[in-house]
Structure 1
Amino acid sequence: MNSKPIVALSIALNLALAAALAWAVSRKPAPADAPAASASAAASASNDATTKAAKATASVTPAATTPLKAFDWRMVESEDYKKYIANLRSIGCPEETIRDIIVADVNKLFESRRREMNATTNKFQFWKAGNPLAGMMDPKRMEKQQALNQEKRTLLKELLGVVPDEKPDLLAGFNPFESMLDFLPASKQNQVTDIYMKYQAKIAGAMGNGTPDAEDLKNMQKVQKDMDAELAKLMSPEEYQDYQLRMSQTAMMMRMQLGSFEPSEQEFRDIFKLKKPFDDDYSNMFGMATGTKEEKEKRAAAEKEMKSQIKALLGDERYADYERAQDYAYQSIYRTTDRYGLGKDAANKVYDMKKAAEDEARKIRNDKTLDKDQRTAALAGIRAETEKSIQTVMGDKAWSSYQSQPGNYWLRGLSPDPKKD
């Protein structure tokens, strides 16, 4: 299998996840106690003003006959924002402080509504193949988030006369960790987020310039193991297992590779239990094999044993689906047939044509009775006949699309593209 596209996609996905998380963290609303802090400042300002007024009165009148009433914040609080603002102004609260209090309170209100909205959406299904970020960025959900943000801006405009400056929320409150870590309480989600961001910065630094080489990958793997060790201390064994099923490199690679396999939750868990120890022992963080000849031989033997265990687990027919799904050439075929509504059967037929054509081409290359020109002509004929058969299965539109895909590289492996005049 050509692993380079999968490796590149894995790197891109991790960087995208870190970038999305960084954006979400930067958009995090003020802490829940922010209104209270602002209120405290306002109360302090009000008390100062009251004290100054008392001193001024004392300097021109005899001893006070009625003691000043101690300030109580409940005297000005109100569920009606307009009344709340009027009460703040009545005690001499500065306009800037009023704005800070109201903005913090409104942010808290709408953050609560946003969380309630997200809680009604589907939980993150870690066994579903594909890009988890794409699955979480549901257009309808983002549309609701944007409507909520617009409602907040309209309310602030009505209350304060202006909308306070803030960064545009391009992702409409999207935070991948809220979905992927939905099995953890909010407080622990925040701790995991902090640890993840700390180590992702280190991994990015260890990546070097451009595509990482073997030494870069070793450094990145060490950072990854350090992060996993710190996370394991934070979570219970059950929580850490759930985290690994969602966030580990093994799980990420499985979701990217098993699109057409469509594993059930139990199949994903069972395969993961076999693949994760193998990846920990023999693969770097992007699934690439490195090391000496002896190390590679040891890895090959362990991989053979792992595949044997997976085959025993799944059975012959299901294991054939599993193996096929991990072939980059098949993935490209499947995406094309799926895009044009042709289904998995059409993809399997084309894939069988691929294997048959490659077998025939191998025989031609090994046939010592053929000279160079005869061999070249025979291979060109195999490719032409194979392409004609594929077009029959796919139809003109899907075939035209497939011809532009990088996954059709195997056709050139049968015979080079004809030279253009």
Structure 2
Amino acid sequence: MRTRWLVIWLTVSAVLNVCLLVGWLQALKPRPPAQRAIARRPVITNILRPIRTNVVFAPRLLTWQDIESEDYPTYVRNLRAFGCPEPTVQDIIVADVNELFATRLGVEVPNPRREWWRSEPAPELVREAEERRAALETERRELLTALLGADWEARHGNSFPEPDSNPLDGELLGAIPPDTRRQVREIERRHARQLEALRLRLAAREQDGAPSADELARLERETCTELARVLTPEQLEEYLLRYSAGADRLRAQLRGFEATPDEFRALFRAQEQLAARLDDQSAALGDAEIKRLAALAREHETALERALGPARYAHYRLLQDPLFQQTKTVAERVGVEPEKLIPLYRVNQLATEERQRILTDTTLGPEDRSRELAELYTEHLNSLRQLLGEEAFLRLQAQGLP
């Protein structure tokens, strides 16, 4: 037993001696010299750097976006909460609502003038436009009364937006970009100012206040040239078909013709081409110039007949006859049946031609001329009585013979 403990003690002693020896050898190894820390000298400067001891956050400024709202009741509450005076609140809301309904007018109310080929707008389209406009006006008034109370109208009256006189709508004009629309409107305003200035100049010279046809044509050509710079050819023609003075004159000439869109477009183009060629002619009307103008007129009529066809061209020419227009007006006034209009015109035409022959016949003396005119008058009355019947004939006499 003693031997066992002796062995353990000797083993532990040997291990301890080895550890001491290793430690002594490590201590004898040379060590690298220690580096001294170099102190950084302070930089002396006259720049003061204040130390922030507290931070103050500025409140966010209130902007119009915080007040404005797409919901009108909320918008009104925000304006009043912000401290806007009530008249200012009314001005802002009425202007905003009017702008909204002006946009809706252009979108929801049909434009009768879009059917530019009609001499008179279609009655059903006019009625629909009036009914839709009245409905929008009622809706606008009810909205403003609900938002501002019943007294808003005392301050603003009937401020419903007026419809645009020349709406840019439809497939072609409706596609015009906003910047181009603004340019078109500026051209229109400039044309209106020039027209008014022309009237004022004529009035100052104590002339008739209505500009001459040549002056109006010049202004219209200048306006057309400006529009051609901002519109495509298709858009320009659509605009002129609707709103130009030339198209208005053509619609007046075609009253009763019931032109189709293609017919009206063909007539309008022929009219514009003739006007452009006449502009190129000299102002002096010598024999050669008169012949040239007559040739242009014949070419124009040939182009019209080719575009319309013989039957429709004959109807068109009939409508241009002043005697036919006079006969038509009187016939409508006294209630002559539509199918008797052309025969009535033929009777009046024959009587007019015969009267002109009698008046220009140099072989007739005064007595013979008076006798033939009296006989012609009697024959004319008998023809009218036979054509119209006694009742219609008496109404025609009461209105005055055409």
Which stretch shows the higher mean deviation, 224-233 or 358-367? 358-367
Counterpart code for 2:219 = V
What residue is the counterpart of 2:129 in the other structure? 141
Map 1:21-420 to 2 at 5 A. 68=59, 70-71=61-62, 76-78=67-69, 80-118=71-109, 120=110, 124-130=114-120, 138-161=126-149, 162-164=151-153, 165-166=155-156, 168=158, 173-178=162-167, 183-185=172-174, 187=178, 188-207=180-199, 208=202, 209-210=207-208, 216-282=212-278, 291-294=284-287, 295-338=289-332, 342=336, 344-367=338-361, 370-387=364-381, 389-390=383-384, 392-393=387-388, 395=392, 399=396, 403=400
Superposition TM-score, scaled by structure 1 size? 0.66
Q: Is the CA contact 2:173–2:238 (under 8 Å) kept in the aligned structure 1?
A: no
In the alignment, the residues of structure 2 paired with residue 97 and residue 314 of structure 1 have an alpha-carbon distance, to the nearest angstrom, of: 61
TM-superposed deviation, 1:96: 3.6
Q: Is the CA contact 2:254–2:316 (under 8 Å) kept in the aligned structure 1?
A: yes
Seen in structure 2, the aligned counterparts of structure 1 residues 297 and 89 have a Cα distance that, compared at 3 Å, is: same
TM-superposed deviation, 1:106: 1.6
Counterpart code for 1:160 = L
In the alignment, the residues of structure 1 paired with residue 303 and residue 235 of structure 2 have an alpha-carbon distance, to the nearest angstrom, of: 26
In the alignment, the residues of structure 2 paired with residue 396 and residue 95 of structure 1 have an alpha-carbon distance, to the nearest angstrom, of: 70
Which stretch shows the higher mean deviation, 203-212 or 369-378? 203-212
In the alignment, the residues of structure 2 paired with residue 337 and residue 306 of structure 1 have an alpha-carbon distance, to the nearest angstrom, of: 31
In the alignment, the residues of structure 2 paired with residue 182 and residue 350 of structure 1 have an alpha-carbon distance, to the nearest angstrom, of: 44
- Deviation string 1:20-54 (CA, Å, 9 cap, x unpaired) is xxxxxxxxxxxxxxxxxxxxxxxxxxxxxxxxxxx
SS of equivalent residue, structure 2 residue 166: helix
Q: Is the CA contact 2:112–2:126 (under 8 Å) kept in the aligned structure 1?
A: no
TM-superposed deviation, 1:235: 0.7
Seen in structure 2, the aligned counterparts of structure 1 residues 267 and 300 have a Cα distance that, compared at 3 Å, is: same
TM-superposed deviation, 1:329: 2.6
Unaligned runs of 5+ in 2: 1-53
TM-superposed deviation, 1:70: 4.9
TM-superposed deviation, 1:223: 2.4
SS of equivalent residue, structure 1 residue 263: coil
Counterpart code for 2:114 = F
TM-superposed deviation, 1:354: 1.9
In the alignment, the residues of structure 2 paired with residue 221 and residue 122 of structure 1 have an alpha-carbon distance, to the nearest angstrom, of: 26
In the alignment, the residues of structure 2 paired with residue 174 and residue 385 of structure 1 have an alpha-carbon distance, to the nearest angstrom, of: 55
Seen in structure 2, the aligned counterparts of structure 1 residues 402 and 346 have a Cα distance that, compared at 3 Å, is: farther
Q: Is the CA contact 1:184–1:239 (under 8 Å) kept in the aligned structure 2?
A: yes
TM-superposed deviation, 1:143: 4.5
- Deviation string 1:208-267 (CA, Å, 9 cap, x unpaired) is 231768xx4443333222211111111111111222323334322221111222222112
**C-alpha RMSD over aligned residues:** 3.8
- Deviation string 1:340-396 (CA, Å, 9 cap, x unpaired) is 665653221121112211232234335555431331232233234435544653825
Unaligned runs of 5+ in 1: 1-62, 412-421
Q: Is the CA contact 1:181–1:189 (under 8 Å) kept in the aligned structure 2?
A: no
Seen in structure 2, the aligned counterparts of structure 1 residues 230 and 102 have a Cα distance that, compared at 3 Å, is: same
In the alignment, the residues of structure 2 paired with residue 277 and residue 148 of structure 1 have an alpha-carbon distance, to the nearest angstrom, of: 43
Counterpart code for 1:100 = D
In the alignment, the residues of structure 2 paired with residue 109 and residue 212 of structure 1 have an alpha-carbon distance, to the nearest angstrom, of: 38
Q: Extract structure 1 runs of 4+ deviating beyond 6 A.
A: 63-67, 134-137, 179-182
TM-superposed deviation, 1:124: 1.3
Counterpart code for 2:89 = I
SS of equivalent residue, structure 1 residue 382: helix
Which stretch shows the higher mean deviation, 121-130 or 261-270? 121-130
SS of equivalent residue, structure 2 residue 225: helix
Structure having the higher Rg: 2
- Deviation string 1:382-414 (CA, Å, 9 cap, x unpaired) is 2344355446538258636853xxxx7xx5xxx
- Identity rate, percent: 27
How many matched pairs? 333
Q: Is the CA contact 2:195–2:219 (under 8 Å) kept in the aligned structure 1?
A: yes
Using CA pairs under 8 Å that are at least 6 residues apart, name the structure with larger relative contact order, 1 or 2: 1
TM-superposed deviation, 1:166: 4.2
Superposition TM-score, scaled by structure 2 size? 0.68
In the alignment, the residues of structure 2 paired with residue 221 and residue 401 of structure 1 have an alpha-carbon distance, to the nearest angstrom, of: 42
Seen in structure 2, the aligned counterparts of structure 1 residues 400 and 247 have a Cα distance that, compared at 3 Å, is: farther
